[in-house]
Amino acid sequence: MGIVYEADRIAIRELELEDTELFAIWWNNGELMKDVGFRTGMGITAASLEEDFATEIADKDPFRKRRRYVVVDKKKHLPLGELVYGNLDMEKRSCGIGLKICEISQQGKGLGYETLIAFMKYLDNKFTLKVYEIDTLADNIRAYSLYKKVGFHDVKTVEKFWADQDGIFHDLIFMELKREEFFNVH
């Protein structure tokens, strides 16, 4: 599997089966996952991810509805985080995207901004999308601020969308960015 897109400090590479260990570490880190509602982590194992990852990797359909990637530090060649697109709709030319800089020591350095822009450019090259969609819990201020900085605007908010591990309800903000708006700025 290889690099699919590069920016100044990061590269985006395809998912590898060995990434199950890394994703399990990241997804079980409560400090990392608290912003998405899992303050004690997700409680998953690498083994529980293997079949899903293997299926995704084996599926060579260029228009697969959902695909994950890994963000890599270009200089150190170390994984920094994860990316995903989902709900790919080639009729509407839209998809949902998600990202997380998972190495906590690398957060707050502008890598999320650089990664999100790079990923959107990659998706545009691959699919020529018209609309990018993203969502975040309303209390995830850092993610919301990043998405606004890139140019996303609110579409709707669903109150009490989801209850976390502690039974606390969270609102979910759906956002979108049209291709022409994105490329007018980036």
pLDDT at 23 over 80: yes
pTM above 0.85, yes or no: yes
State residue 60's pLDDT score. Answer: 95
Rounded to an integer, the average pLDDT of 127-151 is 97
State residue 37's pLDDT score. Answer: 87
Rounded to an integer, the average pLDDT of 71-80 is 97
**What CATH class has 3-180?**
alpha beta
Burial 64-81 (b: 16+ CB within 10 A, else e): eeebbbbbbbeeeeebbb
Q: Tens digits of per-residue pLDDT, 79-126?
A: 999 999 999 999 999 999 999 999 999 999 999 999 999 999 999 999
Residue 29 dihedral angles phi and psi, to the nearest 5°: -85, 105
State residue 1's pLDDT score. Answer: 55
Rounded to an integer, the average pLDDT of 161-170 is 92
Rounded to the nearest integer, the mean pLDDT of the chain is 96
Q: How confident is the model at residue 183 (pLDDT cuts 50, 70, 90)?
A: very high
Q: How confident is the model at residue 11 (pLDDT cuts 50, 70, 90)?
A: very high
Q: Where are the alpha helices (DSSP H) in 2-138?
A: 19-27, 30-33, 46-58, 111-127
Asked if 127 and 85 count as a contact pair (C-beta separation under 8 A), the reply is no
